[in-house]
Amino acid sequence: MDVLSDVISTMRTGRPRSARIEWYAPWGMRFPEVPGGKFLVVLQGACWALVEGREPLQLGAGDVLFLPRGAEHALVSDPQAPVEGLDRVKSLREQGGVAEAVAGEVRGEPTCVTVGGSYFAGVTRPHPLLAQLPSVVHLPSRVGERSELPLAVGLLGRELGSGRPGGDTVIPHLLDMLVVYILRTHLEQERASGAGAGCGFAGAMRDPGVHEAIQAVHRDPSRPWTVAELGGRAGLSRAAFSRRFTALVGQSPLAYVTWWRLTTAARLLNEEDAPVGSIATRVGYSSQFAFANAFKREFGVSPGRYREGTRSERFDGSG
């Protein structure tokens, strides 16, 4: 996979689920903090998002809100509306892992329709790209925008609630697609504006040499990488590469190699039934004992216990 796809694979465990909610004014609902990323799409109407430390943010039809670190937030019909807890949302049905729900006193047409969800983080700390994103990413709808994001929003909106055959298969893939386009659109807009040029992991993805080295690690995490070899992939001396990589990514090249190996191992433990020793070999550990020790330092539990725990977790996403 490419680096962005790999980054998204570290965001979640289990099958993505979310909720489509019809809101009837006046209304206000608080969504708690979660250990992962949240997304929200306004399919119809308008609302306000309240995030601590920020001015109220008005959202209109087609707008997308992404909270990479799962910050607590509220959605309201207007900034003065009273805010209630999630227990006031009434679930109706479920399609493709997306709960259909209503909030407020149902009368007439809803003033707003949203779809939102939460990707629980599958690792003890987020990927550097996610960690370095702003706490709130707002992607407003723009007429004539050529990004794929509005197309994904439109497809998801048409599929939800339609009851058409195949929805249970299509909807989870559309949710994954939506998150890809959210991140891609944000990164492309930053690149076009010059914001953060040469800074952070986004800067690393725009740096041809460092990006090539990162791609090499992602393609073959089991290889016994050295800083000199990765620097050669980047066309830089060992010292120059190490300085540039650390400045952009936020950790040294070999620290990132270890982090990515263990992140990959965690995903394999969650998704596959292969023996722990086999997974250890696939991510570059010749000794299962060394792998188990490294894994426990990163995740706080043994590989076996991690596998048991993640398979019992479920996605919890209403916004």
Task: Write the pLDDT tens digit of every residue in 4-25.
Answer: 888 777 766 555 568 888 998 8
Give the model's pLDDT for residue 315.
37
So where are the chain's domains?
Answer: 3-193, 207-312
Mean pLDDT is highest, among 7-21, 159-173, 188-202, for 159-173
Helix pair angle (253-271, 238-249), 10° resolution = 60
Does residue 47 surpass a pLDDT of 90?
yes
Can you give the pLDDT at residue 97? Answer: 66
For position 231, what pLDDT does the model report? 97
Q: Is the whole model's pTM more than 0.85, yes or no?
A: no
Superfamily (CATH H level) for 207-312:
Homeodomain-like (1.10.10.60)
Instruction: For residues 250-275, give the mean pLDDT.
Output: 91
The pairs formed by 291-294 with CB atoms below 8 angstroms and a separation of 24 or more are 291/265, 294/258, 294/262
Distances (CA, A) of 43 to 73, 79, 123, 185, 284: 19, 20, 31, 18, 45
CATH topology assigned to domain 3-193 = Jelly Rolls (2.60.120)
